[in-house]
């Protein structure tokens, strides 16, 4: 008997909730008479719930023309337009990520741009750096690290010091120099900055093999694995959105943007047994020292070989 009463209670509750929801979702219909004594049906739609009344999700318009490092993208090809459209949509509607990238770009682009110019790379490659690391110090699941996401083997081949004490992949100046050297070598091999960018993702050997197998000479004519097939288009989308943020709905004030602290540089050719103590000599904390010198991987600098390192010291604002 007790179980039956419980069931009846739940059944009545279910009916009551259903009736309430039906009333909330259904427009109220009333009738009234006009001056000619004719019944008029009045529908109150003010309570009808519809998400489109709150906001609209619109398609992103593909730009009429776009290029990478002076090389025009063939937007007259249907699949090329679709692939660019995908990356524009993904990066536009992942709003929090796009906002963070724009904020960080204000911090790091003023450092990266003169280095690209110094080492002979087109300015567009700063967006490759964004695509690789998002301008943060988080290694990939494969072990690539630093701003330009070098694997340990590749970094060492190009002369970067990589060990548990020092990892120069996290040194923006040195890693940008190595990235420029790698990319210029790829450009010389393939004759195209676009293919050089693809090779940065897939490797020179794999791109060379695919070009030979498929008997084509352009990245846009290649059938590649999904990651490399999207890679250049993601760079293009980042370039388009970050160059025209307001066009894609991103509104930021100057105060919203991040900035790199003013620093002075200290030449060090000796071991530093205690970096927190070293930091205190310059009236900064170990954390402040590490934030501008992420290539220092421990709380000491061994430097048994008396190598010359440049350590940045952030200046306190007055």
Which of 281-288's residues contact partners 24+ apart within 8 Å by CB, and which partners?
Answer: 282/313, 283/316, 284/313, 284/314, 284/316, 288/314
End-to-end CA distance of the chain: 80
The one-digit pLDDT tens for each residue of the chain (318 residues) are 444 555 555 555 655 555 544 454 445 445 445 445 555 544 455 555 555 566 778 899 999 999 999 999 999 999 999 999 999 999 999 999 999 999 999 999 999 999 999 999 999 999 999 999 999 989 998 899 999 999 999 999 999 999 999 999 999 999 999 999 999 999 999 999 999 999 999 999 999 999 999 999 999 999 999 999 999 999 999 999 999 999 999 999 999 999 999 999 999 999 999 999 999 999 999 999 999 999 999 999 999 999 999 999 999 764
| pLDDT at residue number 25 | 47
Residue positions counted in the chain = 318
CB-count exposure of residue 55 (10 Å: 0-12, 13-18, 19+): exposed
> Encoding tokens for residue 313?
């010291």
> Encoding tokens for residue 233?
């288009």
| pLDDT at residue number 57 | 85
| pLDDT at residue number 35 | 47
Taking the alpha carbons of 6, 8, 14, 17 in that order, is the dihedral positive or negative? Answer: negative
- DSSP for the chain reads -HHHHHHHHHHHHHHHHHHHHHHHHS-EEEEEE-TTS-EEEEEE-TT---GGGT----PPPPPS--EETTEE--TTSHHHHHHHHHHHHHHHH-HHHHHHHHHHHHHHHHHHHHHHHHTT--TTHHHHHHHHHTTS----TTS-BTTTTB-HHHHHHTT--BSSSBBGGG-HHHHHHHHHHHHHHHHHHHS-HHHHHHHHHH-HHHHHHHHHHHT---GGG----HHHHHHHHHHHHHHHHHHSGGGGT----GGGS--PPPEEEEEE-S-BS-HHHHHHTTT--HHHHHHH-TTB-SSSB--TT---EEEEEEPPP-
**CATH classification (class only), 67-256:** mainly alpha
Helix axis angle, 95-118 relative to 125-133, nearest 10°?
Answer: 130
Query: For residues 307 and 161, what is the distance between their CA atoms, to the nearest angstrom?
Result: 11
Distance of CA 57 to the CA centre of its chain: 21
| pLDDT at residue number 26 | 47
| pLDDT at residue number 64 | 95
Query: For residues 227 and 17, what is the distance between their CA atoms, to the nearest angstrom?
Result: 49
| pLDDT at residue number 316 | 78
């Amino acid at each position: 008997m007790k179980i039956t009463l419980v069931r009846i209670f739940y059944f009545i509750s279910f009916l009551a909730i259903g009736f309430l929801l039906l009333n909330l979702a259904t427009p109220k219909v009333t009738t009234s008479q006009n001056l000619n004594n004719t019944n008029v049906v009045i529908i109150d739609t003010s309570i009808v719930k519809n998400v489109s009344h709150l906001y609209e999700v619109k398609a992103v318009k593909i730009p009429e023309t776009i290029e990478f490092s002076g090389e025009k993208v063939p937007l007259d090809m249907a699949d090329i337009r679709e692939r660019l459209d995908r990356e524009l949509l993904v990066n536009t509607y992942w709003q929090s990520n796009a906002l963070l990238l724009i904020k960080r770009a204000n911090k790091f682009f003023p450092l990266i741009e003169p280095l690209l110019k110094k080492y002979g790379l087109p300015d567009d490659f700063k967006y490759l750096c964004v695509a690789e690391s998002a301008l943060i110090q988080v290694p990939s699941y494969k072990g690539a690290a630093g701003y330009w996401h070098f694997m340990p083997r590749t970094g060492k081949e190009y002369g970067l010091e990589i060990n548990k004490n020092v990892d120069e992949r996290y040194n923006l100046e040195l890693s940008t120099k190595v990235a420029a050297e790698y990319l210029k070598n790829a450009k010389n091999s393939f004759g195209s900055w676009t293919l050089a960018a693809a090779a940065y993702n897939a490797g020179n050997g794999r791109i060379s093999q695919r070009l030979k197998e498929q008997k084509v000479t352009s990245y846009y004519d290649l059938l590649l694995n999904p990651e490399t097939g999207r890679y250049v288009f993601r760079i293009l989308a980042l370039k388009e959105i970050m160059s025209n943020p307001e066009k894609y709905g991103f509104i930021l004030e100057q105060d919203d943007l991040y900035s790199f602290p003013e620093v002075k540089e200290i030449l060090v050719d000796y071991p530093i047994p205690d970096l927190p103590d070293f930091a205190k000599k310059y009236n900064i904390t170990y954390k402040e020292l590490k934030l501008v010198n992420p290539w220092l991987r421990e709380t000491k600098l061994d430097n048994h070989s008396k190598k010359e390192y440049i350590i940045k010291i952030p200046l306190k604002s007055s």
